[in-house]
Amino acid sequence: MSATITLQPKLDLRAAGPLRDALLAHDAEDVQLDAGGVTHIGALSLQVIRAAARSWSEAGRSLTLINASNDLADQLSLLGFSTDTVTQWESRA
């Protein structure tokens, strides 16, 4: 079973809590994050996505970013991620 979560255009401090809640509501499923309308991502929302990437990876589930906007791709690049790597987690065993 999989779910798609449509991300808010502005992923700032106010969006972080609802994003966390949306992810937790689907914690037993593979999840696609639809980022087609995202114009801004802040550090706290990025942290929520990275924490989810770790949780999903450790549980053997898939978390992917789809339809990423150019604005989001540019901002992730400045933060050291790409639209592919932001949802990937590799444990350092």
On whether the pTM is more than 0.85, the answer is: yes
> Quick one: three-class SS letters along the chain?
CEEEEECCCEECHHHHHHHHHHHHCCCCCEEEEECCCCCEECHHHHHHHHHHHHHHHHCCCCEEEECCCHHHHHHHHHCCCCCCHHHCCCCCC
Query: pLDDT of 38-70, one tens digit each?
Result: 999 999 999 999 999 999 999 999 999 999 999
Q: Give the model's confidence band at 37: pLDDT under 50 very low, under 70 low, under 90 confident, else very high.
A: very high
Asked whether the predicted pLDDT for residue 8 surpasses 70, the reply is yes
Q: Give the model's confidence band at 92: pLDDT under 50 very low, under 70 low, under 90 confident, else very high.
A: low
**CATH 3.30.750.24, applies to 2-87:** yes
Cβ neighbours around 52 below 10 Å, total? 24
Q: What are phi and psi of 27, to 5 degrees?
A: -70, -10
